[in-house]
Amino acid sequence: MNLAGDRVAIGAMYNDGTASDAGHVRIYDLKPGAPIMTITATDGSNAVADGATTNDATLTLTFTSSAATSNFAASDITVSGGAISNFAATSSTVYTATFTPSAAGATTIDVAANKFTNSDGINNAAATQFNWTYDNVGQLFLRSL
């Protein structure tokens, strides 16, 4: 293994049974694959599952990368049905943001492929889209009482 720990040589002294030193050596690169971003959400204190319907006015989003990155930004996030604010890095793999829906209905939060890189310069794979439905009917009913 080399000093960086990302390349290894594997070989045998011999491969033909003669005990000569004419063996085969294979060199393998151990660089990780494309980093993957996982998107999760809470209502401030409780987890909100992907595909859930709630009447929360905002969601706190957490974006967790499978590898360290220094160039993930709010502009890498695509949303429908709302807006992202308060984007912040808490580490080189964890980022948070607030999602505010623009109206009742279905919303999506996504990170497309090739938006950021890991420390080896490898582009990210597409994230699994986070889906949430904002249902403000309960809030409207309570306000009218």
Give the burial class of 120: count Cβ atoms within 10 A of its Cβ; 0-12 exposed, 13-18 middle, 19 or more buried. exposed
Q: What does pTM read for this prediction? A: 0.76
For residue 105, is it left (φ>0), alpha (ψ between -120 and 50) or beta? left
pLDDT of residue 137: 80
Condensed to tens digits (0 to 9), the pLDDT of residues 86-135 reads 999 999 999 999 999 999 999 999 999 999 999 889 999 999 999 999 99
Other beta carbons within 10 angstroms of residue 87's beta carbon come to: 17
Best CA proximity match to 63, nearest among 76, 52, 53 = 76
Domains parsed from the chain with CATH numbers = 1-30 (no CATH), 37-144 (2.60.40)
Is residue 55 a contact partner of residue 137, using CB atoms and an 8 Å limit?
Answer: yes
